[in-house]
Structures are given as C-alpha cells and as structure tokens.
Amino acid sequence: MAKIVVLTGAGMSAESGLQTFRGTGGLWEGHRVEDVATPQAWQRQPEVVQRFYNERRRQLLSVSPNTAHYALADLQLHHQVLIITQNVDDLHERAGSKDVMHLHGELLKVRSTRDESLIYAWDKDLTMDDRCDLGSILRPHIVWFGEYVPMLEPAIQEMQSADVVLVIGSSMQVYPAASLVAFAPAGADIYYIDPYPSLNHELRVRPHLHVVEMKATEGVPQVIEKLKVKM
C-alpha cells in the first residue's frame, strides 16, 4: 500500500478561522515574533507570552475543523497516511485523524519549566500562578523560535519512506520543518496545495512536483480523489 506523508501548515486551518503567520493580516503582524515566541521573550516578559497563547487557546476552542481536515481523516481510514503538522491546533485530531505528529508543539498542552517531561492537557488560560506537580511555573508546550525540534528526527525518518507527499498550507519558510520534503525519495510525487504558492529551494528542485494553486478545502479533496484513482 502506498505511503502518504502529509505536511500541513497554518493555511490548513485558515478556513477554520485561525490566522496564518505570514502575508497580510498574519498573526505575527499582530505581535512581533520576538515579543512572544522565543525563550528570550519568556525570560523577559512571561506575562505577555502567556497572554498571547491564552488568546490563541481561547480562539482555538471557538473554531472547528474544515472539510480539508475531514478529507485527510477519511483518507487515513483506508490508506497509510501520516500527518506531520507545523500547527499547534488540534483540528486534525478533532476531525478524526490519528497519530498526528506535531513539530512545533500543541496549544492545548502546557509543561513544567523544571521537568519538560511533565506535560499537562490544558484548555483554559495559563497564569504565572499555575504550577506543575513539582511546584514550578508552567509554560506553553510550544517549540519557540531557536528551540530544539524534538519531533524532527522521527519526521525525517517517516518522510524517507513516503511514496506521495502532500504539503498543505505552508509558506515553507521556517526551518527545519521547511527542509522536510528534501528527505522524500526522488521518485515520490509531491503535491503542494496553496492558493498563493511560494516555492522554497527544497520544493523547486523536486522532480515530481505538482503545484495545486487552490485553498485547502478545494485542493485537498481534489488531490485525494486523484490519488484514490491512482492507488
């Protein structure tokens, strides 16, 4: 059975109402990245960081998966599909997808600042008064810029045995996630689904690249129908 590896970015959740990070009106434009998503920001002004993620957590609880999330979950029922996401939302899981690999962490989890293996499900505001079981401050379970990406190695290994890769809703500008397609076998078909495609180096050099200049809710079902015929 062909193995399909899916790499999703913020554009996957755009039609669910969650803002993307770059481009007009992007989330980061609302906040300077340096102000909220770096270890330095956490050291300097943790309350600002907490407030930024509390806003995003509240918003996440008010939105729903879109038809592209559901189309991928349905594909997983009958095919070998692994979803690797740069997104910290739980919309893939809420649509029914299993074993989603989160490269950049998860918004609905927090972790101890003393023992990073102490991770807690968390769907309310996080404050500086909340404590882990060891009595230490809790932080968002998010990979901040400049921090180590623990799921990168497993993601690379999965990509190395992909027969088909779908890249959905990512500007492919943030490394190391943006380098992942380079690890797919040379013969793999790569479908890049994005209404405003921006091809990074790793995508441009792929021999079997198919650019689908569409929104996720249109492009994902169309590509899946094409794959079902081929497989």
If the CB atoms of residues 55 and 130 are measured against ligand APR, the closer one turns out to be: 55
If the CB atoms of residues 21 and 53 are measured against ligand APR, the closer one turns out to be: 21
Residue from 77, 73, 74 nearest 85 by CA: 73
Site string for ligand APR, 83-102 (x = CB under 6 A): ---x----------------
Smallest distance, ligand APR to C-beta of residue 4, A: 18
Catalytic residue among 69, 102, 104, 141: 104
- Residue 64 within binding range of ligand APR, rule CB under 6 A: no
If the CB atoms of residues 28 and 130 are measured against ligand APR, the closer one turns out to be: 28
- Residue 158 within binding range of ligand APR, rule CB under 6 A: no
**How far lies 3's CA from each of 52, 188, 210, in Å?**
37, 10, 17
Task: Return the CA Rg of the chain.
Answer: 18
Which residues in 193-222 contact ligand APR (CB under 6 A)?
194-196, 198, 215-216
- Residue 104 within binding range of ligand APR, rule CB under 6 A: yes
- Residue 31 within binding range of ligand APR, rule CB under 6 A: no
Smallest distance, ligand APR to C-beta of residue 199, A: 10
If the CB atoms of residues 82 and 212 are measured against ligand APR, the closer one turns out to be: 212
Using the rule CB under 6 A, give the single segment among 20-28, 69-77, 118-126, 203-211 that binds ligand APR. Answer: 20-28
Residue from 77, 53, 90 nearest 1 by CA: 77
Using the rule CB under 6 A, give the single segment among 40-48, 115-123, 125-133, 165-173 that binds ligand APR. Answer: 165-173
Using CB under 6 A as the binding criterion, the count of chain residues that bind ligand APR stands at 23
Q: Could you tell me which residues come within 8 angstroms of residue 221 by beta carbon, excluding any fewer than 6 positions away?
A: 67, 68, 71
Q: Could you tell me which residues come within 8 angstroms of residue 118 by beta carbon, excluding any fewer than 6 positions away?
A: 111, 112, 132, 133, 134
**Which contacts qualify for 215-219: CB closer than 8 Å, 24 or more apart?**
215/11, 215/14, 215/15, 216/11, 216/12, 216/14, 216/15, 216/66, 216/68, 216/168, 216/169, 217/15, 217/66, 217/67, 217/68, 219/68, 219/168, 219/193, 219/194
CB-based closest residue to ligand APR: 11
Residue from 120, 206, 118 nearest 166 by CA: 206
Q: Is 69 a catalytic residue?
A: no
Residues that bind ligand APR (CB under 6 A): 9-11, 14-15, 20-23, 26, 86, 104, 169-171, 173-174, 194-196, 198, 215-216
- Residues with a known catalytic role: 104
